């Protein structure tokens, strides 16, 4: 036998419903986002955005991608909260509640069904402009029919048990405050959090890159170290024969031929081959060849300007 909720049948206002949903999604997303942020700081390698967040635009794009990925999870989070406690955070603040049209409590599966329809027909997968248009269309339909497509299909209605204009106004202010807080958190990402994350990752990368070095790569060249710094990788080489004899390059023609050969080899790898990821991330490559006494015999710089596209 179903448990009946004894509330009046007064329907909740549209603004109350709008800010209840907006508050609930925003508050849970901020918690979700802060959890991910802490995870990325503690474990930088788990952050899929660590190497691409070099500007505020990048951070905003990353935050928005996370929001889009979060919305499907919200369908089940909200359903679990409502089925367990009878209401969610946003509805509670606004003094409204979702019930079935016969007054009985709604099951978890029916909440999931209702939220899924909202996700498709109203939130439209989180796409901002499309979502705005969908809200306007749904508002127009509600004014004509007195219900929404998700309430009609899940046989639910949203009732008021304490909502008021002043309560809606206060919750609207709270919603915008939460949006401002999230904006502040997002703006701090490139400047602080992801800088810390990238530095930690660079340290780890340098350790991994230099594993097994120094290493002889041909009969006259030893790769001694690789250093990642300031959005660039520096490859340090020592010119020395296998018998330990040092190599000195004094002929300018030989130096120019070597420079051209090294440039051709690395530019192909950098633009189209195994080093292409470095180009896409905006990293440059500097090859430094040293003679005895640490004197620089040859230096070759590789960056995007050497690529055709």
The per-residue pLDDT for range 97-122, each reduced to its tens digit, is: 999 988 778 999 999 999 999 999 99
Say if residues 228 and 208 touch (Cβ distance below 8 Å): no
Return the pLDDT at 158: 93
Which of 34-38, 108-112, 219-223 shows the lowest mean pLDDT across its residues? 34-38
**What average pLDDT does this structure show over 52-60?**
52
Residue 274 has pLDDT above 90, yes or no: no
Return contacts of 291-295, CB within 8 angstroms, 24+ apart.
291/239, 291/246, 291/247, 291/248, 291/249, 292/240, 292/246, 292/248
> pLDDT-derived band of residue 138, with 50, 70 and 90 as boundaries?
very high
Cα 147 from Cα 139, distance rounded (Å): 9
Residue with tokens 């340090």: 236
Q: Does residue 194 have a pLDDT over 90? A: no
CA distances from 172 to 13, 25, 165 (A): 14, 13, 10
- The model scores a pTM over 0.85: no
Spatial separation of the C-alpha atoms in residues 42 and 24, rounded to whole Å: 27
Binned at pLDDT 50, 70 and 90, residue 202 comes out as very low
Query: What pLDDT score was predicted for residue 3?
Result: 45
Contacts of 40 (CB under 8 A, 6+ apart): 46, 47, 49, 50, 193, 194, 197
* Cα–Cα distance, 93 to 95 (Å, whole number): 6
């Amino acid at each position: 036998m179903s448990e009946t909720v004894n509330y009046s049948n007064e329907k909740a206002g549209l603004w109350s419903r709008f800010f209840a949903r907006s508050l609930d999604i925003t508050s849970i997303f901020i918690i979700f986002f802060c959890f991910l942020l802490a995870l990325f700081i503690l474990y930088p390698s788990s952050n899929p955005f660590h190497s691409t967040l070099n500007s505020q635009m990048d951070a905003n794009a990353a935050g928005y991608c996370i929001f889009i990925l979060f919305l499907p999870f919200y369908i089940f989070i909200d359903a679990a909260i409502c089925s367990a406690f009878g209401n969610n955070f946003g509805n509670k603040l606004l003094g409204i509640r979702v019930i079935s049209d016969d007054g009985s409590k709604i099951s978890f599966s029916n909440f999931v069904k209702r939220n899924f329809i909202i996700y498709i027909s109203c939130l439209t997968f989180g796409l901002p402009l499309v979502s705005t248009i969908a809200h306007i269309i749904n508002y127009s339909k509600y004014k004509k029919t007195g219900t929404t497509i998700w309430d009609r299909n899940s046989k639910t209605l949203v009732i008021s048990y304490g909502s008021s204009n002043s309560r809606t106004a206060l919750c609207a202010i709270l919603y915008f405050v939460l949006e401002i807080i999230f904006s502040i958190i997002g703006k701090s990402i490139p400047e602080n959090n992801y800088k810390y994350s990238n530095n930690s990752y660079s340290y780890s990368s340098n350790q991994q890159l230099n594993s097994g070095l120094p290493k002889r790569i041909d009969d006259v060249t030893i790769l001694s170290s690789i250093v990642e710094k300031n959005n660039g990788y520096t490859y340090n080489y020592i010119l020395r024969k296998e018998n330990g004899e040092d190599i000195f390059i004094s002929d300018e023609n030989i130096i120019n031929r070597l420079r051209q050969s090294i440039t051709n080899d690395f530019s192909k790898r950098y633009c189209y081959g195994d080093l292409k990821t470095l180009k896409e991330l905006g990293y440059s490559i500097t090859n430094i060849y040293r003679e005895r006494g640490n004197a620089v015999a040859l230096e070759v710089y590789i960056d995007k300007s050497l690529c055709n596209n």
